[in-house]
Amino acid sequence: MDLILWRHAEAEDGIDDLARALTRRGQQQASRMASWLRDRLPDDYLLLASEAKRSQQTAAYLAKSYEVMPELNPGAGVDEVLQAVGWPEAGRTVVVAGHQPYIGWLAARLLSEQQQMWSVKKGSVWWLNRRERGGYEQIRLKLMLTPGMLEP
């Protein structure tokens, strides 16, 4: 299974956290990353977003159709997110347009088996892959890409 953790792009400040929208810069970040992803994702990927406007706006740059899951809202826990995305049995590539701090916690836990706070830049993608080899589970980092790496 491939799991792509995509932190929402830059968003406006605001008191109502779920209503915060992407800034103009955030729209550009999401558009560039979506274009890059679109060329590399398998046809049957599943795109998930939280109920936050900025998460849904980020996802919408990749596809018109995506599933909104409250389990992916800001403040979600690692176990809650893993269960929501079907890790590791989903059987297909799952893209999560989500939030810090759980994206950093997920990356740390899956790659290092430790609960640490890893920093993830807004709009960045962490592409993880799980496979079994010789009876052992392996979690591999296939890619970490920030929006700044895609700028001309």
The pLDDT value recorded for residue 127 is: 98
Sheet holding 67-68, edge to edge: 67-68, 46-49, 94-98, 2-7, 125-133, 136-145
The pLDDT value recorded for residue 55 is: 98
pLDDT > 80? residue 63: yes
Residues 14-42, mean pLDDT to the nearest whole number: 97
**Residue carrying structure tokens 């406007």:** 53
Please choose, from the candidates 76, 55, 72, 70, the residue with its C-alpha nearest in 3D space to the C-alpha of residue 8.
55
End-to-end CA distance of the chain: 31
And the tokens for 87?
């890790």
8 Å CB contact between 57 and 27: yes
This prediction has a pTM of 0.96
The pLDDT value recorded for residue 126 is: 98
Q: What is the mean pLDDT of the chain?
A: 96
The pLDDT value recorded for residue 151 is: 80
